Amino acid sequence: MNRRRAIITPILIVIVLIVVGSLGGGIAWFKNMVAGKIHESLAGLATAPQTVSTTEATAEEWQPQLQTVGTLRAVNGTDISPQVAGVISAIHFESGADVTKGTLLLELQAADDIAKLQSLQATAALARITYNRDLQQLKAQAVSQQTVDTDAQNLKSAEAQVVQQQATVDYKMIRAPFDGHLGIRMVDLGQYLSPGTPVVTLQALDPIFVDFYLPEQALAQIKVGQTLTISVDTFPGGTFAGKIAAINSRVDAATRNVQVRAQVDNPDHKLLPGMFATVEINTGAPQRLVTLPLTSIAFNPYGNTVYIVEDKGTGPNGQPQKIARQTFVTTGATRGDQVAVVSGVKEGQVVVTAGQNKLHNGSPITVNNTVQPTADARPTPTDE
């Protein structure tokens, strides 16, 4: 019995070892198989073509420009207001009318002032008569020189009082100080006005000024008489021509900007003071530059890059093979949705415009240009 057990025990141990070894080998084989499948899957993903949109780099003539924003203001503009207090007795204008210099706009009640003026005029007339009579009598030695001097002084004083009272009466007659276009009336008949109360705005609209600021570095590129164009949001797509009228004599020490004023013709009175304007000043000769949509450029702290499409011939399946090659570029001015590329891309090269976030250097790609990003140098906002 003991001998039989001694024979069976080693056999069981061998069987157990064989089973354990088989299980360990199976587990190892399974792990290796799973790892291989994962590796194959990752390799397949890494080499799968990525769908992108592309465009061909084109060269265009770009006129070098200085662009800024400004504010329109009238050559002459003011809010008409009285210099003296009074009650409105007559209104002689309509809102929105064009008037010439000296046109009577408003009258304040001035009956008492006119009566006082007439009294002073009578006093001055009497003083003149007295002076002339005494002057004749002085020749006959009937009065003294002192009497004539006193008469002359009285005449001058009386005439001065007449001039002063005439000015007071004139202040009650409010007139247009220059040719211009009236705004909306802000007062009513019979209303009491204090000095300085606005009556109506008067603006000279043709020509009109546009004030704007440029950095001090731009001073070398501008001069008085230089042509420019402005555009306003009120008239999309329209431009108005003008010329630089004045350049400020100092640079703002806080901003390092200089104020510039341009004069723009405005015969139709489309431009109004206070409007926001975009100003473009042409500088230098036109330049031929390679341009791309802004979406094709990846702007990074270490440098701006684009993906250029390279043709690698035909693949095993007979389909064309294309890869994306990353390259650094130097960008220049931007206009709307376009950017000028100074170096890094040549005219005619095909560049990726959408889908760059899926790419790395050398990625295979598939081109789908059914949807293209905008590349308008003068985009117009829409409600869509």
Which pLDDT band, with edges at 50, 70 and 90, does 291 fall under?
Answer: confident
**What is the predicted pLDDT for the residue at 9?**
64
The residues that bridge with 8 in the sheet, in sequence order, are: none
* Residue 368, φ and ψ in degrees, nearest 5: -135, 105
Instruction: Give Cβ neighbours of residue 379 (< 8 Å, ≥ 6 apart).
Output: 336, 337
Between 18 and 277, whose confidence is greater? 277
CA–chain centroid gap for 328, Å, is: 32
pLDDT tens digits, one per residue of 34-56: 666 666 655 555 467 888 888 88
Q: Which residue has the higher pLDDT, 371 or 266?
A: 266
Banded model confidence at residue 184, pLDDT cuts 50, 70, 90: very high
pLDDT in tens, 76-114: 999 999 988 999 999 999 998 999 999 999 999 888 888
Residue-range domains of the chain with CATH: 50-62+286-367 (2.40.420.20), 67-73+204-282 (2.40.30.170), 110-171 (1.10.287)
pLDDT in tens, 125-165: 988 888 888 778 877 777 788 887 888 888 899 889 989 98
The Cβ-side half-sphere exposure at 352, using a 13 Å CA radius, reads: 30
Please, which pLDDT band fits residue 57 given cuts at 50, 70 and 90?
Answer: confident
Q: Which of 40-49, 165-174, 245-254, 275-284 holds the top average pLDDT?
A: 245-254
Indicate the range of 127-141, 176-190, 241-255, 366-380 predicted with least confidence: 366-380
43 or 204, higher pLDDT: 204
Alpha-carbon span 108 to 84, nearest angstrom: 9
Report the C-alpha gap between 317 and 364 in whole angstroms.
14
Q: Determine phi and psi for 355, rounding to 5 degrees.
A: 100, 10
Q: Take residue 20 and report the two structure tokens written for it.
A: 């354990």
Give 189-203 pLDDT, tens digit per residue: 989 999 989 999 999
Among the ranges given (11-20, 74-83, 250-259, 263-272), the one the predictor scored with the smallest mean pLDDT:
11-20
Rounded to whole angstroms, how far apart are CA atoms 109 and 196?
Answer: 17
Residue 381 has a pLDDT of 53
Q: What is the pLDDT of residue 25?
A: 67
**pLDDT value, residue 71:** 94
Query: Among all chains, which residue has been given the structure tokens 């009228």?
Result: 245
Range 29-38, long-range pairs (CB < 8 A, 24+ positions): none
Model confidence band, residue 19 (pLDDT cutoffs 50, 70, 90): low
The predicted structure's pLDDT at residue 315? 63
pLDDT for position 250: 93
Going by C-beta distance under 8 Å and a sequence separation of 6 or more, which residues neighbour residue 135? Answer: 148, 151
DSSP readout, 192-204?
A: EE-TT---EEEEE
Burial 159-179 (b: 16+ CB within 10 A, else e): bebbeebeeeeebbebebebb
Of 257, 205, 276, 265, give the one whose Cα is nearest residue 240. 265
- Cβ–Cβ contacts within 10 Å for residue 315, how many? 12
In whole angstroms, give the CA distance from residue 356 to residue 38: 26
Virtual torsion, Cα 220, 224, 228, 230, nearest 10 deg: 110
Contact, 308 vs 349, CB < 8 A? yes
- 330-351 pLDDT, tens per residue? 888 887 788 888 888 888 888 8
Say if strands 338-343 and 320-335 run parallel, antiparallel, or are unpaired. antiparallel
pLDDT at 37: 66
Distance (Å, rounded) from C-alpha 15 to C-alpha 18?
5
Q: Which residue has the tokens 């009578």?
A: 122
Residue 255 has pLDDT above 60, yes or no: yes
Q: Which of 6-15, 229-238, 268-277 has the lowest mean pLDDT?
A: 6-15
Taking the C-alpha atoms of residue 230 and residue 222, their distance in angstroms, rounded to an integer, is 16
Q: What percent of the chain has pLDDT over 70?
A: 84
Kindly report the average pLDDT of the chain as a whole number.
83
